[in-house]
Structure 1
Amino acid sequence: MKFFTAGGMSILLFISILFSTTDALSQNGQVTVNSTSGTPYSVTVKITPTQILRSSTTCLNGYNYNVRFNYQITYSGTPQGNLYTHQVEIICLNNQVNGFYSLPKAAANSSGTAQTSTNPFVPNNGTPGQYSSPYVHCSAANIYTFNCLTARLIIHGPGINSQTIPFNLGNPLPVELIEFNAEAEKNQVNLNWSTASERNSDYFTIERTRDGENFEEIGSIKASGNSSTLKSYQFTDYSPEPGISYYRLTQTDFDGQSESFEIKSVEVKSSQVITNVFPNPTADSKANVLVQKTNQLVELRLFNVFGQLILDKQIDASNGQVIETIELPQNAGTYMVELTQQGEVVGR
């Protein structure tokens, strides 16, 4: 306050200063909002951009895009009810706003993947197919080149004032995964994945489990290190388990940090647990028959070209794949190996 003198009278003038208070804390790609009235509780929202979704792959005259991201919402305390408003805006190159206006409002922990819907436009520099900083050609569009490092959370709910909270997103994921697929084909499972960009990416690990919990590593593939172009990878599981198995893809950085992606389930039917015969053709009177692991006894039968039975024996592969060496007749010719389980042919 200040004193002023006017006409011999002292006038006391109060100067009112409004202080803004915050009921939110942001750090490391997440923001925590605390209730200010009623039963105490808080909501923590974590946003991680993962991919730039381009509207074009040629983009001669510019292109639109949206941002795919992962979200994680965590409640603590006793929520007073569902949120009224729960939205996020991700800020990318040249301060373009990418809005998503349907974050879950239910007062429960949740996580998932979503994408923005506001379609900002990236213009060329006046020449078809050419772009000037800060804009980039669509072939180089990724989380790093688009500088998606900040966001705004828009939230309102019981005991939580309506507010817009800016926060830093932190470092984006080292790998921008486009797809990961697993598919059974006869006696093997083919796994394929592709990335739009990679940063300090050392290698990928492929794991498998039957129970969905206890994973075992079955292989690894060297990653591309640093890349802003499409990279494709492939791995084949030549000894799949019969029935339903779950495959997990994990990426590891040069510094040892790792992240795992969505788990894929694959069913290998009993008719797909078939045999491989090698060498084929063979120069001597022996051949090896590879029988995949199966919980039921396998009957192996050998026929000549006239359909005559030459050999009939049972194989127990319940503890893992078995390589069975069979004696062939001395006569040169063509022979057929047949595997059956409970009368059903499962391999030829």
Structure 2
Amino acid sequence: MKSCLLFLSTISFLNSFSQNTALTFNGTTQYATIGLTGPTSNFVNPAISLIALPVVYKSFTARVDGNDALLQWTTAQEQNSRDFTIEHSIDGINFKPITKLDAAGTTTRETNYVYKHETPIKGANYYRLVQNDLDGKSSISEVRKLVIDGSNRSMVLLGNIATNGQLQMQINRKTPVSLYTMDGKLLFRRQFNPGTHRLELAGYSKGMYWLSAEGSTEKIMIR
């Protein structure tokens, strides 16, 4: 049986065929059935099948590391990849960016990435990756969830942004809590007993500060 390999390069050329199309090969006319749509279609759109994905993920995991969240992901290949924005959420719906990591650019080799989130909240934490291309396009990964119990920390913040001058924190054992400027100047030091507390910070200027307790130091924002 003779075979004829047809290279069909454009959709318009394909659309010129009817279901029973006459094909002439070496002077002999044969009739062939070519399906362009439906479950028996012989046609694959080359404009779709030949598009290279900018990033192909091999894995993306999030696990508890002490009281931190350890994120790890591996890409099988990357094309024109600029960076990854790591986003965090406490409800799985509203995400906020926490950092960016530079991407590999263009490579066909496996690339490994690691990031440790040192200020997750006590309870459920959700993470996702936003991969940004050099051409300005972005894609979002699947969401990963983990639960931090906070049992090893003397202080766990329930969010690190003081809104309306207040910041909530969970104290796991009796400990002094101190507030410092970013250059290390002590602003106050106060003893707290175990439990949930609302820290009043309305008297301080807007900006970034360090909040420190025994075995735990967190960066906070007053706005």
Into which bin does the TM-score normalised by the smaller protein fall?
Answer: 0.5 to 0.7
Whole-Å Cα distance in 2 between the matches of residues 319 and 175 of structure 1? 45
Match of 2:156 among 289, 292, 314: 292
2:54 is aligned with 1:166: no
Match of 1:207 among 87, 94, 98: 87
The residue that corresponds to 1:92 in the other structure is none
Structure 2 residue 145 is the aligned partner of structure 1 residue 257: no
Closer, same or farther in 2 for the Cα pair 1:166/1:208, shift >3 Å?
Answer: same
Q: 1:203, 1:221 within 8 Å by CA — same for their partners in 2?
A: yes
Alpha-carbon contact 1:177-1:196 (below 8 Å) kept: yes
| Secondary structure at 1:224 match in 2 | coil
CA positional deviation for 1:18? 4.5
1:245 matched to 2:125: yes
Question: Could you tell me how far apart the structure 2 residues matched to 1:215 and 1:251 are?
Answer: 15
- Distance in 2, Cα, partners of 1:183 & 1:167: 41
In 1, Cα distance between the equivalents of 2:175 and 2:56?
A: 50
Q: 1:184 to 1:202 in 2, by over 3 A?
A: same
Aligned pairs (5 A) from 1:127-276? 155=39, 162-168=40-46, 169-272=49-152, 274-275=153-154
Indicate conservation of the 8 Å contact 2:82/2:103, yes or no: yes
User: Secondary structure at the residue paired with 1:207?
Assistant: strand
Q: Distance in 1 between matches of 2:192 and 2:94?
A: 35
Contact 2:156 2:170 in 1 (8 A): no
1:118-154: CA deviations, max 9, x gaps?
A: xxxxxxxxxxxxxxxxxxxxxxxxxxxxxxxxxxxxx
Is 2:204 the counterpart of 1:323?
no
Question: SS at 2:106's partner residue?
Answer: strand
Kept after mapping to 1: 8 A contact 2:72/2:114: yes
* Contact in 1 for aligned 2:34/2:42 (Cα 8 Å): no
Secondary structure of the residue that 1:292 maps to in structure 2? strand
Aligned counterparts of 1:322 and 1:232: Cα–Cα separation in 2 = 31
Partner secondary structure for residue 259 of structure 1: strand
Determine if contact 1:181/1:192 at 8 Å carries over to the other structure: yes
What amino acid maps onto 1:300 in structure 2?
K
* Local SS of the residue matching 1:225: coil
SS of the aligned residue for 2:151 comes to helix
Q: How far has the Cα of 1:245 moved from its partner?
A: 1.4
What is the Cα deviation at residue 316 of structure 1?
Answer: 2.8
SS at match of 1:246: strand
Matched-pair contact (CA < 8 Å) for 2:59–2:74: yes
Contact 2:71 2:115 in 1 (8 A): yes
What is the rounded CA distance, in whole Å, between the counterparts of 2:110 and 2:144 in structure 1?
Answer: 22
Contact preservation (8 Å) 1:293, 1:319: no
Shift in Å, 1:177: 1.3
Bigger-Rg structure (1/2)? 1
Tell me: CA distance 1:165–1:213, structure 2 relative to 1, closer, same or farther (3 Å).
same
Unpaired runs of 5+ residues, structure 1, are: 1-16, 25-32, 34-154, 156-161, 276-290, 303-310, 326-336, 340-348
What is the letter of the counterpart of residue 192 of structure 1? Q
Q: What residue identity is the alignment partner of 2:45?
A: F
CA contact (8 A) 2:70 2:115 kept: yes
Alpha carbons 1:201, 1:252 under 8 Å: kept: yes
Q: Is the 8 A contact 2:86 2:127 kept in 1?
A: yes
CA distance in 1 between partners of 2:146 and 2:199 (Å): 20
Output the aligned Cα RMSD. 3.3
Q: Percent identity?
A: 25
Task: Give the number of equivalent residue pairs.
Answer: 153
Partner amino acid, structure 2, of 1:316: H
Q: Secondary structure at the match of 1:165?
A: coil
**Aligned pair in 2 of structure 1 residues 194, 165: CA closer, same or farther (>3 Å)?**
same
Consecutive unaligned residues of structure 2, counting only runs of 5 or more, are 1-18, 22-32, 159-167, 177-189, 202-208, 217-223
- The TM-score, its normalising length taken from structure 2, stands at 0.58
Measured against aligned partners, the alpha-carbon deviations of 1:204-259 in whole angstroms (never above 9, x if no partner) come to 11001122111100111000111121211111111101111110012111001111
8 Å CA contact 1:293–1:317 kept in 2: the answer is no
Using structure 1 for the length normalisation, give the TM-score: 0.38
